[in-house]
A = this chain, B = another copy of it.
């Protein structure tokens, strides 16, 4: 069964990219580039999931969500954004989105996330899960508890990968990590590559920042 998806993003290229990546795996029932068009289109098509860009001209994507969540309780919302700032994530989650992924996500992963959200799961990019959970445990303002939280981030990594991740975040070079763990530089490269891919990070600086903000150092 293909889920019915509505796209909201002000960049036509992004919408085209999402369409191309998703292919026939889902049914894209409509698109919108701004808040009014999105509200109208979603109201008309009643999709299973709305893939919602957080930053839109003429109001946040959150405005769309808040305008319709009462009216269309069966619609699930997955936030899509370039931003990984905690405030953006938490704001849209509090508004009612069932997930939040960044635009660095791969096509297959996006498809998987859409399906999970449509099925009622809660989905985050691995690197975001940490402070989303922090925010929920700290501030008791969240209404709906998550049935299932996928991608707890660290749990994606094997024990060895976690080990390498820590040393990467602490600034050690591949060579230093290798001699510290008594493995070759090439093995460290493998683990590092896996870590970055699994956490959807593109280089070790993002890893360092991620680890620092999540107090994993």
Residues of A in contact with B (beta carbons under 8 Å apart)? 169-171, 203-206, 208-209, 212-213, 217
Q: For residue A171, which residues in chain B have a CB less than 8 angstroms away from its CB?
A: 203, 205-206, 209
CB-CB < 8 A to A213: which residues of B? Answer: 212
- Determine how many copies of this chain the complex contains: 2
The interface residues of chain A, by DSSP majority, are classed as helix
How far, in Å, is A212 (CB) from chain B's closest CB? 3
**Cα distance A203–B176 in the bound complex, in angstroms:** 14
CA of A170 to CA of B212, assembled, Å: 12
Closest to A170 in B: B209
The CA-CA distance from A217 to B83 in the complex, in Å, is 13
CA distance A205 to B213 in the complex (A): 14
The smallest beta-carbon distance between A26 and chain B, in angstroms, is 32
Expressed in whole angstroms, the minimum distance between the Cβ of A104 and any Cβ of chain B is 12
Interchain nearest-CB distance for A169 vs B (Å): 8
Q: Once the chains are docked, how many angstroms separate the CA of A62 from the CA of B213?
A: 30
Q: How far is the CB of A51 from chain B (nearest CB, A)?
A: 26
In the complex the two chains form, what is the Cα distance from A187 to B203 in whole Å?
22
Starting from the known contacts A171-B203, A212-B212, 14 additional A-B residue pairs (CB-CB under 8 Å) come to A169-B209, A170-B209, A171-B205, A171-B206, A171-B209, A204-B205, A205-B205, A205-B208, A208-B208, A208-B209, A208-B212, A209-B212, A209-B217, A212-B213
In the bound assembly, the distance between CA atoms of A212 and B170 in angstroms comes to 12
A168 to chain B, nearest CB (A): 8
Give the interface centre of A206, A209, A217 by most chain B CB atoms within 10 Å. A209
